[in-house]
């Protein structure tokens, strides 16, 4: 009897492991290419698959060893907005819209000069009030429809409509918005109307064109919810969407009918984007060869990548800059001399060396290194000079009157500032370094960590502006436009963080915004930056270098200010490694 029970227990165990195995197996069947059950996707994806098969049959892969294989890119987050260019501001999403799945009318070359892309040519009217784009006639949506001028007009209509809430509304400041802003001349010609202004093609370069035949019926205020973005995008770019497993990966395949004149189909057969939120894991996956590219490793991972002979490290100055914004509404920060002293006392070389391990370029204004007007040599920059900082504070009337190491004004206000930042190791270290550097000139700086969206509210709220100093990273477009940040008339807008008023800056920003000719703009940029350095609404810290870890079996990878995916079409895998 006892023995029977003994065996019974054994059977229970057996049974349990059997069910565990069954569970595993059923789970295995349940995965794979999950097709969204949304009716829109159900209708669209089979058409994409059919057109892909048809165009593959008609366009065999060219006989060149560079074609073929799968490239895997690992990054810390999702492609959150997907291919929905109408609502997108997220970096990874716009990269995929511009270079992977969709096409823009024009694109930049490595010198940030506009080049033909979906538009094969364009012409600016002599009065500068319209641009006429002539489109390529050999670009097809991935479901087989041809891309034409109506798609461009449709996209324009959507992104400039306030109902859509396109995040970068400032793009359209000098354009005629809505249907009046764009004319369809013929099926492959459109004309866009605008007021002449600086770098007017930058907004055009940004926006991926969307398919009218699929999205024409979507109410503009419902674009963010549409499954097109993340469940079944249909683009016209070099890569065709295949599948998206949320939180795991996106898979794209080469578009066999991508125009020959633009280089034809991409070299790789498949491109997989993997979402790996933990950087240590991502580094492991790069080192073990499970991903070919690790996007934006932190500086402390750079060394391990450099040590591995199979890996290559790419470093480039991105469009980001980091700064401390001073709230000039605060009595202790109202005087530009105080703000200049804070900058003079900040050893930015040390911050870049110690915290970024050298992967950064010191900044003095928001004009980034890739910009044509970038020329720090010619600027009256504020170097690290604590002696000068002390003298400036003395002159401004801030002295340590009670001998406690912190300066006071004549009415007893202490020179104290909190420096807020969102939780992030680099920011925290920067704030702490600044705290000790500022202490040397008698300024009591207190670092304070605040969760990101809360921080945004504290600094953007027009009434509160609840901060003295805040450490922030800001990404510029290729068109540098500081109007929202510094113009006196926008002081009632969220981004007038510093709240400084400076008539000279106002005048120069307005002039720069409307000066089309670069040679005429160059001296204005010089004056503007000089005035900005004198005003010091921010202590500009550095332009971080964005890194990329790349497996050497992947060739031809270019990453620069245009982005990490800019030439994905030309990446190819070493044939011996496949």
Tokens of 157: 């209509």
Q: Per CB under 8 A, which of residues 32..51 are in contact with other proteins?
A: 32-33
Of 25 and 50, the one with the shorter C-beta distance to other proteins is 25
Nearest Cα to 157, choosing from 139, 176, 141?
Answer: 176
170 binds other proteins, rule: CB under 8 A: yes
Q: Per CB under 8 A, which of residues 438..457 are in contact with other proteins?
A: 451-454, 456-457
Q: What x/- string results for residues 311 through 350 when contact with other proteins is judged by CB under 8 A? A: ----------------------------------------
578 binds other proteins, rule: CB under 8 A: no
The region of 16-24, 352-360, 424-432, 552-560 touching other proteins under the rule CB under 8 A is 16-24
The region of 152-160, 323-331, 469-477, 552-560 touching other proteins under the rule CB under 8 A is 469-477
Of 287 and 566, the one with the shorter C-beta distance to other proteins is 287
Q: Per CB under 8 A, which of residues 251..290 are in contact with other proteins?
A: 251, 272, 274-278, 280-282, 284-285, 287-288, 290
For residues 211 and 232, give the distance between their C-alpha atoms in angstroms, rounded to a whole number. 13
Of 394 and 477, the one with the shorter C-beta distance to other proteins is 477
Q: How far is the CB of 196 from other proteins (least distance, A)?
A: 19
Q: Per CB under 8 A, which of residues 483..512 are in contact with other proteins?
A: 484, 493-495
Which helix (H) or strand (E) segment holds residue 159: the answer is: helix 149-160
Of 363 and 437, the one with the shorter C-beta distance to other proteins is 363
Q: How far is the CB of 456 from other proteins (least distance, A)?
A: 4
Inter-residue contact 94 to 102 (CB < 8 Å)? no
Inter-residue contact 70 to 83 (CB < 8 Å)? no
For residues 384 and 541, give the distance between their C-alpha atoms in angstroms, rounded to a whole number. 12
Q: How far is the CB of 535 from other proteins (least distance, A)?
A: 19
Q: What x/- string results for residues 229 through 248 when contact with other proteins is judged by CB under 8 A? A: xxx-------------xxxx
Which helix (H) or strand (E) segment holds residue 339: the answer is: helix 336-344
Q: How far is the CB of 296 from other proteins (least distance, A)?
A: 16
30 binds other proteins, rule: CB under 8 A: yes
129 binds other proteins, rule: CB under 8 A: no
Of 6 and 216, the one with the shorter C-beta distance to other proteins is 6
Of 69 and 447, the one with the shorter C-beta distance to other proteins is 69
304 Cβ partners below 8 Å, 6+ apart?
283, 287
Q: Per CB under 8 A, which of residues 353..382 are in contact with other proteins?
A: none
517 binds other proteins, rule: CB under 8 A: no
For residues 330 and 113, give the distance between their C-alpha atoms in angstroms, rounded to a whole number. 42
Tokens of 516: 């089309």
Phi, psi for residue 80 in degrees, rounded to 5: -65, -40
Q: How far is the CB of 248 from other proteins (least distance, A)?
A: 5
* Beta strand segments in 48-95, E: 70-75
The region of 23-31, 259-267, 350-358, 536-544 touching other proteins under the rule CB under 8 A is 23-31
Q: Per CB under 8 A, which of residues 130..159 are in contact with other proteins?
A: none
Q: How far is the CB of 13 from other proteins (least distance, A)?
A: 8
Q: How far is the CB of 138 from other proteins (least distance, A)?
A: 31
For residues 221 and 224, give the distance between their C-alpha atoms in angstroms, rounded to a whole number. 8
Q: What one-character-per-residue DSSP string does 251-306 give? A: EEEE-TTS-GGGT-S-SSSEEEEEE---HHHHHHHHHTTS-SEEES--HHHHHHHH
Phi, psi for residue 194 in degrees, rounded to 5: -155, 170
The region of 5-13, 144-152, 349-357, 428-436 touching other proteins under the rule CB under 8 A is 5-13
24 Cβ partners below 8 Å, 6+ apart?
none
Inter-residue contact 355 to 433 (CB < 8 Å)? yes
Of 311 and 355, the one with the shorter C-beta distance to other proteins is 311
For residues 38 and 47, give the distance between their C-alpha atoms in angstroms, rounded to a whole number. 15
Q: Is 321 helix (H, G, I), strand (E, B) or coil?
A: strand
Alpha carbon 221 to chain centroid distance?
24
Q: Is 362 helix (H, G, I), strand (E, B) or coil?
A: strand
Of 245 and 381, the one with the shorter C-beta distance to other proteins is 245
Q: How far is the CB of 30 from other proteins (least distance, A)?
A: 7
14 binds other proteins, rule: CB under 8 A: no
- State the Cα angle at 117 between 116 and 123, rounded to 5°: 40
Q: How far is the CB of 485 from other proteins (least distance, A)?
A: 8
Inter-residue contact 268 to 572 (CB < 8 Å)? yes
Q: Per CB under 8 A, which of residues 51..110 are in contact with other proteins?
A: 70, 72, 80, 82, 84, 89
Exactly one of 68, 116, 144, 167 binds other proteins (CB under 8 A); that residue is: 167
Of 6 and 358, the one with the shorter C-beta distance to other proteins is 6
For residues 149 and 118, give the distance between their C-alpha atoms in angstroms, rounded to a whole number. 10
CB 63: neighbour CB atoms within 10 A? Answer: 6
For residues 169 and 284, give the distance between their C-alpha atoms in angstroms, rounded to a whole number. 40
463 binds other proteins, rule: CB under 8 A: no
Of 77 and 369, the one with the shorter C-beta distance to other proteins is 77
Of 80 and 130, the one with the shorter C-beta distance to other proteins is 80
Q: How far is the CB of 87 from other proteins (least distance, A)?
A: 9
Nearest Cα to 342, choosing from 456, 481, 483, 471?
Answer: 471
Rg of the chain over CA atoms, in angstroms? 27
Q: Per CB under 8 A, which of residues 397..436 are in contact with other proteins?
A: none
Dmax (CA) for the chain in angstroms is: 103
């Amino acid at each position: 009897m006892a023995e029977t029970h003994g065996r019974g227990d054994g059977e229970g165990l057996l049974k349990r492991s059997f069910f565990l195995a069954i569970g595993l197996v059923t789970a295995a069947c349940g995965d794979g290419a999950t097709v969204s059950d949304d009716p829109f996707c159900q209708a669209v994806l089979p058409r994409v698959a059919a057109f892909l098969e048809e165009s593959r049959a008609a366009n065999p892969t060219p006989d060149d060893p560079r074609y073929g294989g799968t490239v895997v890119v690992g990054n810390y987050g999702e492609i959150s907005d997907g291919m929905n260019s109408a609502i997108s501001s997220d970096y990874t999403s716009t990269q995929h819209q511009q270079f992977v799945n969709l096409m823009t009318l024009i694109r930049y070359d490595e010198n940030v000069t506009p080049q033909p892309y979906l538009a094969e040519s364009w012409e600016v009217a002599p009065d500068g009030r319209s641009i006429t784009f002539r489109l390529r006639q050999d670009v097809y949506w991935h479901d087989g429809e041809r891309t034409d001028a109506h798609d461009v007009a449709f996209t324009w209509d959507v992104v400039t409509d306030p109902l859509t809430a396109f995040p970068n509304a400032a793009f359209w400041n000098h354009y005629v918005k809505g249907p009046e802003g764009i004319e369809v001349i013929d099926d492959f010609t459109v004309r866009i109307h605008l007021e002449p202004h600086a770098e007017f093609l930058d907004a055009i370069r940004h926006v991926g064109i969307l398919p009218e035949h699929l999205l024409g019926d979507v109410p503009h205020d419902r674009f963010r919810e549409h499954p097109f973005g993340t469940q079944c995008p249909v683009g016209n770019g070099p890569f065709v969407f295949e599948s998206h497993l949320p939180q795991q990966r996106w898979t794209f395949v080469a578009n066999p009918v991508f125009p020959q004149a633009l280089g034809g189909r991409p070299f790789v057969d498949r491109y997989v984007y993997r979402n790996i939120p933990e950087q240590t894991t991502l580094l492991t996956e790069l080192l073990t060869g499970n991903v070919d590219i690790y996007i934006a490793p932190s500086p402390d991972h750079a060394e391990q990548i450099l040590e591995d002979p199979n890996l290559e490290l790419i470093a480039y100055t991105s469009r980001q800059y980091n700064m401390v914004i001073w709230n000039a509404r605060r009595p202790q920060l109202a005087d530009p001399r105080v703000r200049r002293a804070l900058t003079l006392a900040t050893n930015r070389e040390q911050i870049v060396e110690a915290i970024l391990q050298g992967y950064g370029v010191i900044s003095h204004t928001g004009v980034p290194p890739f910009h044509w007007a970038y020329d720090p040599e010619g600027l009256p920059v504020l170097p690290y000079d604590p002696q000068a900082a002390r003298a400036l504070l003395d002159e401004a009337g801030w002295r340590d009157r009670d001998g406690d190491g912190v300066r006071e004004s004549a009415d007893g206000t202490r020179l104290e500032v909190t420096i807020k930042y969102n939780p992030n190791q680099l920011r925290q270290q920067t704030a702490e370094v600044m705290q000790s550097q500022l202490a040397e000139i008698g300024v009591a700086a207190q670092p304070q960590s605040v969760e990101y969206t809360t921080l945004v509210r504290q600094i953007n709220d027009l009434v509160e502006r609840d901060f003295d100093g805040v450490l922030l990273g800001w990404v510029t477009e290729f068109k540098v436009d500081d109007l929202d940040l510094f113009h006196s008339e926008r002081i009632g807008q969220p981004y007038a963080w510093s709240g400084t008023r400076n008539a000279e800056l106002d005048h120069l920003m307005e002039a720069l915004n409307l000066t089309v000719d670069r040679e005429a703009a160059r001296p204005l940029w010089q004056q503007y930056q000089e005035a900005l350095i004198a005003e010091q609404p921010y202590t500009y810290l550095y332009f971080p270098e964005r890194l990329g870890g790349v497996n050497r079996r992947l060739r031809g990878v270019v990453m620069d200010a245009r982005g990490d995916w800019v030439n994905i079409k030309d990446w190819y895998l070493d044939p011996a490694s496949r």
